[in-house]
């Protein structure tokens, strides 16, 4: 039996999503078909041929459900309808059918840690203490000895992800409700079996309609440690992160197993990915082990927090050694047990080429390098819209340019702090803010970048004249065509999907180097994360430099040692 057969005979190894690449669409910023300045479902349909050309297997759509848009759709008021700004259910059915015709699967965003405060469930819940849906959310009385509304009267001292308390006083009943995110995103009480049943019913309804899976928003926050209690250390605002009481809580595995039983068991060819801030490799081995029947893979955040100080708006220089150690740890710990998802970008992160690359002198080179380092790892890669074009951060210069609720609330809270420095705040929001990912996709070099015929809801990046899809598709040397090749390699080379991983040069501050091994085949993946020519100091450099070059971002050279140009990346293959 060959090595390949040995691997594929393990039934979990057969999962189709192991060799798949997912593309994330943030619908409001993707493509606008009706000229109102907001992307829509017809806009997505109009770009399906572009996505098919790129070669992706799955399209994940950030939320398009009915929503007051307090957090751009992550606050849902009707899970079973589409917000008119995106189109109609008929449009969604057409999208599913058109995508399927091109062999592309559709994944929807499942946002069930919380609903909108305008969801009928919450409207009922808040109406009286004895409403049958009262217990569907987290209601708590004023802290003992305190008066409702005064600072410190909140039931716990936790800080919201979006600044301030996680508790909002509701005048109707004089009690507080919990919201880990905005006050328009009340947390559902997953302890209540009726809540869980309602969610599973809704999920089944979507799957029956033809979608192929879910990306589950902050799904490891749904089980809270009871009773709810204060966290230890308070910050200058009087609040403390309540993370240890909400992340990977005591019933999380039970809830996910129940969801699997009620929704996914017996369904073929679906894909599930849980977004999990604070997930450790130990937890992820359980979440993603097929034998546990929970999820296919999780989005972990370890590699997204290495360049962050106090919070996401304190961006530090990246220590490449830490990045390598973190990614290597996830590769090794999940290998043969669970499954990784791989990403540099999404709608919550600044653009990777600006954050980890050099988006000035070496934008194209560093975009290709980042793509290579990620796509040669074991796991399922996620490409975020515009990443395949090497889109960059937006040059924000003033506070009123920020739209995102996280940035806006953060700015309000910062203005209350002693020593407030507006210029420093703008720099922080510009470097760390989520709006960077949300400017319109740059389709062509016209003033609105071909995104809309109207006024875009968030300005187009001024670099759209040069960085755009039309130019990229026409240029065989573009980031687009490079990503197309990376995606194709995953489809055609089992070593990328199944091979063992080994990190080399752990202590090197500039070179990211690793091998993948499978049967008698080996790959060497190299990336120079610097503006300087750098030697790759490995013992068998001479042998590797004579091996087959699978992909690279500079013209091939005959190089007896291995010397990488600024932001150069190479992948070699050899038999061993």
Instruction: List the catalytic residues.
Output: 217, 275
Task: Pick the closer one to ligand TEU by CB: 434 or 516.
Answer: 434
Q: How far is the CB of 163 from ligand TEU (least distance, A)?
A: 10
State the CB neighbour count (10 A cutoff) for residue 37. 18
* # residues contacting ligand TEU (CB under 6 A): 13
Please pick, from the candidates 105, 159, 196, 312, the single residue that binds ligand TEU as defined by CB under 6 A.
Answer: 312
CB 437 within 8 A of CB 349: yes
d(CA 278, CA 302): 8
Options 76, 111, 188, 216; binder of ligand TEU; rule CB under 6 A: 111
Q: How far is the CB of 94 from ligand TEU (least distance, A)?
A: 26
Of 175 and 348, nearer to ligand TEU (C-beta) is: 348
Residue 278 sits in the site that holds ligand TEU (CB under 6 A): no
CA 457/CA 441 separation, integer angstroms: 12
Reduced to 3 states, what is the DSSP secondary structure of residue 314? coil
Q: How far from each other are the two terminal CA atoms of the chain, in whole angstroms?
A: 18
- Residue 74 as a binder of ligand TEU (CB under 6 A): the answer is yes
State which H helix or E strand residue 59 sits in: strand 58-61
Q: Tokens 């599913």 label which residue?
A: 96
Q: In the complex, what is the shortest distance from the CB of residue 501 to ligand TEU, in angstroms, rounded to a whole number?
A: 26
Residue 181 within binding range of ligand TEU, rule CB under 6 A: yes
Give the x-and-dash track for 399-428 against ligand TEU (CB under 6 A): -------x----------------------
Candidates 447, 442, 450; CA nearest to 478 is 442
Counting contacts by CB under 6 A, is residue 71 touching ligand TEU?
yes
Q: Considering the complex, what minimum distance in angstroms separates the CB of residue 408 from ligand TEU?
A: 12
Of the candidate residues 96, 218, 295, 486, the single one contacting ligand TEU (CB under 6 A): 218
- For 492-530, letters b (16+ CB in 10 Å) and e give ebbbbbbbebebbbeebebbbbbbbebbebbbbbbbbbb
Output the smallest distance, CB 137 to ligand TEU, in A. Answer: 15
* Token reading at 149: 């509304």
Asked if 161 interacts with ligand TEU (CB under 6 A), we say yes
Of 112 and 142, which has the nearer Cβ to ligand TEU? Answer: 112
117 binds ligand TEU (CB under 6 A): no
Helical H segments across 167-312, by residue range: 193-209, 243-246, 252-259, 281-288
- If you search the block for the tokens 């140009």, which residue do you land on? 565
Q: Shortest approach of ligand TEU to residue 181 CB, angstroms? A: 4
The two tokens of residue 249 are 């809580």
Member of 217, 258, 296, 365 binding ligand TEU (CB under 6 A): 217
Token couple for 308 = 């962050």
Among 70, 83, 170, 348, binds ligand TEU (CB under 6 A): 348
Residue 277 interacts with ligand TEU (CB under 6 A): yes or no:
yes
Q: By CB under 6 A, is residue 284 in contact with ligand TEU?
A: no
Burial of 242 (0-12, 13-18, 19+ CB in 10 A): buried
* 8 to 164, 268, 294, 381, 497: CA distances (angstroms): 50, 18, 22, 20, 11
Q: Is 175 in the site for ligand TEU (CB under 6 A)?
A: no
Residues that bind ligand TEU (CB under 6 A): 71, 74, 111, 161, 181, 217-218, 275, 277, 312, 347-348, 406
């Amino acid at each position: 039996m060959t090595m390949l057969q040995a691997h594929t005979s393990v039934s979990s190894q057969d999962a189709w999503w192991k060799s798949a690449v997912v593309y994330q669409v943030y619908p409001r910023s993707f493509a606008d078909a009706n000229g109102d300045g907001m992307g829509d479902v017809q806009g997505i349909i109009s770009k399906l041929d572009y996505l098919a050309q790129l070669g992706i297997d799955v399209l994940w759509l950030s939320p398009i459900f009915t929503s007051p848009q307090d957090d751009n759709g992550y606050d849902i008021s009707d899970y079973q309808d589409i917000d008119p700004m995106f189109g109609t259910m008929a449009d969604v059915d057409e999208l599913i059918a058109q995508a399927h015709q091109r062999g592309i699967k559709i994944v929807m965003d499942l946002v069930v840690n919380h609903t909108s405060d305008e969801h009928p469930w919450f409207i009922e819940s808040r109406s009286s203490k004895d409403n049958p849906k009262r217990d569907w959310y987290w209601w708590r009385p004023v802290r003992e000895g305190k008066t409702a509304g005064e600072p410190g009267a909140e039931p716990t001292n936790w800080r919201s992800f979006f600044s301030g308390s996680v508790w909002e006083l509701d005048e109707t009943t004089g009690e507080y409700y919990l919201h880990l995110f905005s006050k328009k995103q009340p947390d559902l009480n997953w302890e209540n079996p009726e809540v869980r049943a309602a969610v599973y019913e809704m999920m089944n309804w979507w799957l029956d309609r033809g979608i192929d899976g879910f990306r589950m928003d902050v799904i490891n926050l749904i089980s809270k440690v009871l009773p709810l209690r204060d966290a230890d250390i308070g910050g200058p605002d009087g609040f403390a992160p309540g993370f240890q009481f909400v992340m990977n809580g005591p019933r999380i595995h039970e809830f996910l197993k129940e969801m699997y039983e009620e929704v996914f068991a017996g369904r073929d060819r679906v894909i599930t990915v849980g977004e999990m801030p604070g997930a450790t490799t130990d937890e992820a081995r359980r979440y993603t082990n097929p034998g546990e029947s929970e999820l296919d893979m999780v989005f972990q955040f370890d590699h997204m927090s290495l360049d962050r100080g106090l919070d996401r708006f304190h961006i530090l220089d990246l220590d490449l050694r830490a990045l390598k150690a973190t990614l290597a740890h996830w590769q090794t710990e999940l290998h043969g047990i669970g499954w990784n998802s791989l990403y540099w970008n999404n709608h919550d992160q600044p653009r990777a080429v600006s954050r980890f690359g050099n988006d000035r002198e070496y934008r194209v080179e560093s975009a290709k390098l980042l793509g290579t380092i990620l796509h040669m790892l074991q796991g399922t890669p996620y490409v975020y819209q515009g990443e395949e074009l090497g889109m960059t951060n937006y040059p924000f210069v003033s506070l009123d340019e920020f739209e995102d609720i996280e940035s806006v609330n953060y700015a309000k809270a910062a203005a209350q702090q002693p020593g407030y420095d507006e210029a420093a705040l703008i720099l922080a929001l510009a470097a760390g803010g989520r709006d960077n990912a949300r400017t319109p996709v740059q389709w062509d070099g016209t003033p609105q970048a071909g995104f809309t015929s109207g006024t875009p809801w968030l300005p187009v990046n001024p670099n759209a004249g040069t960085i755009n899809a039309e130019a990229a598709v026409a240029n065989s040397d573009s980031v687009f065509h490079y990503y197309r090749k990376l995606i194709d390699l995953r489809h055609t080379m089992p070593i990328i999907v199944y091979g063992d991983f080994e990190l080399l040069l752990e202590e090197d501050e500039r070179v990211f180097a690793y091998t993948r091994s499978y049967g008698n085949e080996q790959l060497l993946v190299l990336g120079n994360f610097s503006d300087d020519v750098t030697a790759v100091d490995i013992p068998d450099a001479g042998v590797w430099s004579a091996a087959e070059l699978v992909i690279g971002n500079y013209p091939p050279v005959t190089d007896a040692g291995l010397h990488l140009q600024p932001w150069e990346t190479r992948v070699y293959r050899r038999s061993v």
